Amino acid sequence: MSKVYVGMSGGVDSSLAAALLKEQGHEVTGVYMKNWSKDLPGFTCPWKEDYEDAKRVAVQLGIDFKLYDFETQYRHMVVDYMVSEYKKGRTPNPDIMCNQEVKFKLFLNTAISDGADKIATGHYCRTHNGKLLVGIDEIKDQSYFLYRVTSEALEKSLMPIGEYKKSEVRKLARKLGLYTADKKDSQGICFVGKVGIKEFLINELGSQEPGAIVDGGNGKVIGQHEGAIFYTIGQRHGLNVGGGLPYYVTHKNMNTNTVYVTTDLDDKDLWRQEITLEDIHWINGKPSTDKTYKARLRYRGPLIKATLKGNRLKLENEVRGVAAGQSAVIYDDQLVLGGGVVTN
């Protein structure tokens, strides 16, 4: 069996991943990645508690335990990228960038140079010969966040949790008496914790200039926003424009700091059927263009039949609220092919 370094976040999924791999006979080492430790106003970063929880499980399992400090790299690769994208008026996904740059590049390379044969994570996905497959639990499947991982990295990665449903994971963890068996799942920004994007951006950039909310149908100013970067296409809540039918964000002008909205659900600016992709990544080579695949445009979003032609993705049905900066991930049944970033 091989030497496996397991990324242990202090949660139940990665805890059980370590336990399962030890049961299978691997020489397991637990690793806590310290990617963020900064407290924010009204929010205490949970990294110390998570670190201690991961360490307790490692002691329970009788495995070695290490801490890798990636804070500087995480700031540069994930946080700076996210903030830069929001400043451009786009809607990025920091979890995707974290997986691409930190977990399956930086952590992998550091672990291998430290003596590991492979790494493992608690993701609800499966790997097979450098291919990425969806997790057994359709609701918890996290393949959307992993579409930018390379086949070379996947060949050296194990994801044992992908073979289980979440309810089974909890049950197994309790059966093994793992300290984290009933710990709540983490929420919020990857590694930062349960803090809203708006609060995070304000902490990074300061308060933003207010601007006009304009009804795109008649050009009238109907309200004021707190900064265009905080709004995304299709957004309905948080606009604070009262009365009558709900308003939806259709587009933004970052140069004039204007947010455009509509009450018309048939507004053409709300819907997309053809999407242009950039920064495209295919895990196992470029797929065929004469086949119908399925695409997912947000985590836990519906799978929609789609065809590919160059960097163009044509969907079977129109989709509401597609924002530049978010990712479109392409599937061929259980296999994750890859995907790209949505442009304007």
Delimit the CATH 2.40.30.10 region(s) of the chain: 268-342
**122-161 as b/e, with b when 16 or more CB fall inside 10 Å?**
bbbbbbeeebbbbbbbeebbbbbbbbbbbbebbebbbbbb
CB burial of 43-63 (b: ≥16 within 10 Å; e: otherwise) equals bebbbeebbebbbbbbebbeb
State CA 146 to chain mean position distance. 8
Model pLDDT for residues 125-148, shown as the tens digit of each residue = 999 999 999 999 999 999 999 999
Mean pLDDT for all residues in the chain: 94
Residue 122's Cβ-side half-sphere holds a number of Cα atoms within 13 Å equal to 23
Per-residue confidence (pLDDT) for residue 187, from 0 to 100: 66
Average pLDDT over residues 245-274: 93
How much is the pLDDT for 42?
79
Per-residue model confidence as pLDDT tens digits over 210-228: 999 999 889 999 999 999 9
pLDDT value of residue 190 = 63
190 as an active site residue: the answer is: yes
The single-letter code of the amino acid at 135 is: G
As annotated, the residues of the chain forming the CATH 3.40.50.620 domain(s) are 3-197
Supply the pLDDT for residue 217: 86
The answer, yes or no, to whether residue 259 has pLDDT greater than 70, is yes
The pLDDT of residue 297 is 96
What is the per-residue pLDDT across 177-203, written as a single tens digit (0 to 9) for each?
999 999 888 766 666 666 788 888 998
Distance CA 58, CA 30 (A): 6
| Cα angle for residues 102, 171, 48 (degrees, 5° grid) | 40
Q: Report the CATH architecture of 3-197.
A: 3-Layer(aba) Sandwich (3.40)
Q: Which long-range contacts (CB under 8 A, 24 or more apart) does 251-255 make?
A: 251/216, 252/89, 252/228, 253/228, 254/87, 254/88, 254/89, 254/228, 254/229
- Write the CB contacts of 168 (distance below 8 Å, at least 6 apart in sequence): none
Nearest to 53 by CA among 30, 37, 35: 30
Q: What is the topology classification, in CATH, of domain 268-342?
A: Elongation Factor Tu (Ef-tu); domain 3 (2.40.30)
Q: State the DSSP string of 62-95.
A: T-EEEEEE-HHHHIIIIIHHHHHHHHTT----HH
| CA–CA distance, 189 with 230 (Å, rounded to integer) | 15
Write out the E strands in 226-324.
248-253, 258-262, 271-282, 293-296, 304-309, 312-320
User: What mean pLDDT comes out for the span 2-11?
Assistant: 96
pLDDT at residue 242 is higher than 90: no
In the structure encoding, which two tokens stand for residue 110, read together?
């550091």
Phi, psi (5° rounding) for residue 16?
A: -70, -35
Q: What are phi and psi of 3, to 5 degrees?
A: -85, 120
Is the pLDDT at 109 greater than 90? The verdict is yes
How confident is the model at residue 245, as a pLDDT?
A: 84
At residue 290, the pLDDT reads 86
**Which is the catalytic residue, given 98, 153, 195, 275?**
98
Annotated active-site residue 45? The verdict is no
In the predicted structure, residue 205 carries a pLDDT above the cut 70: yes
Rounded to the nearest 10 degrees, the angle between the axes of helix 12-23 and helix 166-175 is 60
Query: So what's the architecture of 207-262 in CATH?
Result: Roll (2.30)
Dihedral-angle region of residue 17 (phi above 0 means left; psi in -120 to 50 means alpha; beta otherwise):
alpha
Q: Is 32 exposed, middle or buried (0-12, 13-18, 19+ CB in 10 A)?
A: buried
pTM value is 0.93
Q: Is the pLDDT of residue 171 over 80?
A: yes
Using CA atoms, how far apart are residues 212 and 226, in angstroms rounded to an integer?
Answer: 9
Spot the catalytic one: 58, 125, 133, 190: 190
Are 40 and 203 spatial neighbours (Cβ–Cβ below 8 Å)? yes
Tally of residues, the chain: 344
pLDDT of residue 198: 86
Q: Give 298-331 pLDDT, tens digit per residue.
A: 999 999 999 999 999 999 999 999 999 999 999 9
pLDDT at 238 over 90: no
